[in-house]
Amino acid sequence: MCGIVGFTGHIEGKEKVLDAMKERIRHRGPDSEGTYIDDNIAMGFRRLSIIDLSGGDQPLYNEDGSMVLTFNGEIYNYRELRDTLIAKGHVFKTRSDSEVIIHGFEEYGTALPSKLRGMFAFVIWDKKRKRLFGARDYFGIKPLYYAEMNGTLMYASEMKAFLAHPDFKRELNTDTLENYLSFQYSPLSDTLMKNVYKLKPAHYFLYEEGRMKTACYWKADFDVDNSKSLDGWADEIETAFAESVEAHKIADVEVGSFLSSGIDSSYIAAQARVDKTYTVGFKGDQYDEIGYAKACADAVGLKNHAKDITEEEYWDVLPKLIYHLDEPLGDPACIALYFVAKEASKDVKVCLSGEGADEIFGGYNTYEETQRGAGYRKIPRPLRGGAAGLAGILPHFKGREFIIRHRGTVEDWFAGNPNSGFDEKERKRLLRVKTNAPDRVDLVAPFYADVAGENDIIKMQYIDMHMWLASDILLKGDKMSMANSLEVRVPFLDKVLYQTAKRLPEDMRVKDRHTKIALRAAAARHLPEVTAQKKKLGFPVPLKFWMKEDRYADQIKAMYHSEIGETLFDTNALDSMLDAYKHGKFTGYLKLWSVYTFLLWYEVFFNDMSVESRF
């Protein structure tokens, strides 16, 4: 696992600028660094040594030195690819997985990414053609940002590296801000920094003669197979999952595993048989996963290291985490993820984690709601529309959101988890600035078009793969682990395992208010029943209680009334919502939290010029 940075063009002090960019991402690779500079490009690298500890430093070159590679990630089928490329005449100088990329690009060109199995973000400079090629993995496990400013292309594993480049201009993207208020993350490729983009998952770019071209090289598809019983699917999942976990354990260092109270990480830990597992929680029955995790670890014979997070630790670390996230994120669980990564990094360099299982196997509680709503949707649409309109103006009551959501089809209301952000009318009222942000429905419409003929569960999964998974789940997974110089691997997000998951019928995904039906059946063969059947919980954080305490509510209000807060938002409305929340008259605490975390992000990246020395 590593970090990469680079830029094109001609500036004074090119090496000094590149060194400063590398320094911004030192946490991604504290073990070594590397540099390549010529008249046209500067490329930097920071390394966390995992495979071929003595021989895997970068940049790497092809046989004649005409191509230069910097790479972040792991390639799990590198041994097979290496054998194939050697048979075709390529000469390797290391045992690292990285080197198959440079020779693979020589052999296959832009078709290379579709041949790789793993998590990756890399760039290759072709000296002869003066062309830069970059690619990002299928699901977006590894990040890759780029920006074009003043005739310079910059790229990096983390956006903060751009702050060290003299051509970089900090400017808020208010269109993305408006969408952030709905999604609580930055959706798609735009970021909150204007003219800074994320390369989309399963995409590559070519940059040549000052022109950027991006293209998609893979799309998740579905091929439902109704021929198997539940036991038959459990057999197939069990076999495919075991193979994926084994592939994800390839390393020349010790591998550990995160362990929560749920099925996903528990199944991974039990299958991997690692020596160490790691859990964090919060004191109190409702928010303490430690007891469940320890019971599971004991049942399957694993060691467990656990830590209770205090509320003081949680709030004190927020500015540092905002800096490491690069982007504002209204997901309170990212802080818990930071602490579990911090604990694990004391012992190991690599941990397995359960991200992706919900998206590909059908695990979110929201998915079963569309089945519950099937009967309600038989009511004529005009009547449902009228009921939704009435519910929208009434105070909160149980079932209110259900009535509003099911006024129409899934395409009308589902734009991805977590469904807790501001709607279009709310965000327009809240913002003092005008934007050209698209509606949520318009933003996800192209994804719905891709799966137009599939059932509603698959449609929702597909939306979450492209929105919530890529821009929230995997963003925090990468940034919070790498903040602690820890590599996190996600065996569920494996292109080979996906060939099984994509064929599951609807009732093997969700049925009778239960989720991940077939996956649970496979996991139950390896886990205690209580773990295999435990309802989806996520990474629970007692934030909704803390925000009712005066000291934290006052802290949030103070940020609302910062200079930028007063400029962008109707702060009277925010104050009223927060006061109503404290007195039990408003339930949308995550809406309030998302505004607060955005304002913290703005403070760190726009106003605090000492961020690198602080963090």
- What digits encode the pLDDT tens for the residues 401-411? 788 888 888 99
What's the distance, Cα to Cα, between the start and end of the chain in Å? 20
- What digits encode the pLDDT tens for the residues 119-143? 999 999 999 999 999 999 999 999 9
Confidence of residue 528 (pLDDT cuts 50, 70, 90): confident
- What digits encode the pLDDT tens for the residues 181-225? 999 999 989 999 999 999 999 999 999 999 999 999 999 999 999
2-173+188-216 against 223-540: fold identical: no
- What digits encode the pLDDT tens for the residues 512-525? 889 999 999 999 99
Q: Is the pLDDT of residue 573 over 80?
A: yes
The yes-or-no answer on residue 2 being catalytic is yes
User: Domain 223-540 has what CATH class?
Assistant: alpha beta
- What digits encode the pLDDT tens for the residues 153-173? 999 999 999 999 999 999 999
Element (H, E) at 366: helix 365-372
Burial category of 414 from C-beta neighbours within 10 Å (exposed 0-12, middle 13-18, buried 19 and up): buried
Mean pLDDT of the chain: 92
Element (H, E) at 571: helix 571-582
Nearest to 544 by CA among 561, 559, 560, 556: 556
Q: Is the pLDDT of residue 574 over 60?
A: yes
Tally of CA atoms within 13 A in the half-sphere of 494 that contains its CB: 25
For the CA atoms of 396, 398, 400, 401, what is the dihedral angle to 10 degrees? 100
Alpha carbon separation from 139 to 202, 395, 557 (Å, rounded): 7, 39, 37
Q: Where are the domains of the chain?
A: 2-173+188-216, 223-540, 542-615
- What digits encode the pLDDT tens for the residues 311-352? 999 999 999 999 999 999 999 999 999 999 999 999 999 999
Nearest to 519 by CA among 230, 326, 305: 230
CB 144 within 8 A of CB 199: yes
Question: Which of the residues 2, 296, 334, 351 is marked catalytic?
Answer: 2
Backbone phi, psi, residue 70, to 5°? -125, 140
Q: What is the CATH number of domain 2-173+188-216?
A: 3.60.20.10
- What digits encode the pLDDT tens for the residues 369-389? 888 877 788 888 888 888 888
CB 223 within 8 A of CB 237: no
Element (H, E) at 393: helix 381-393
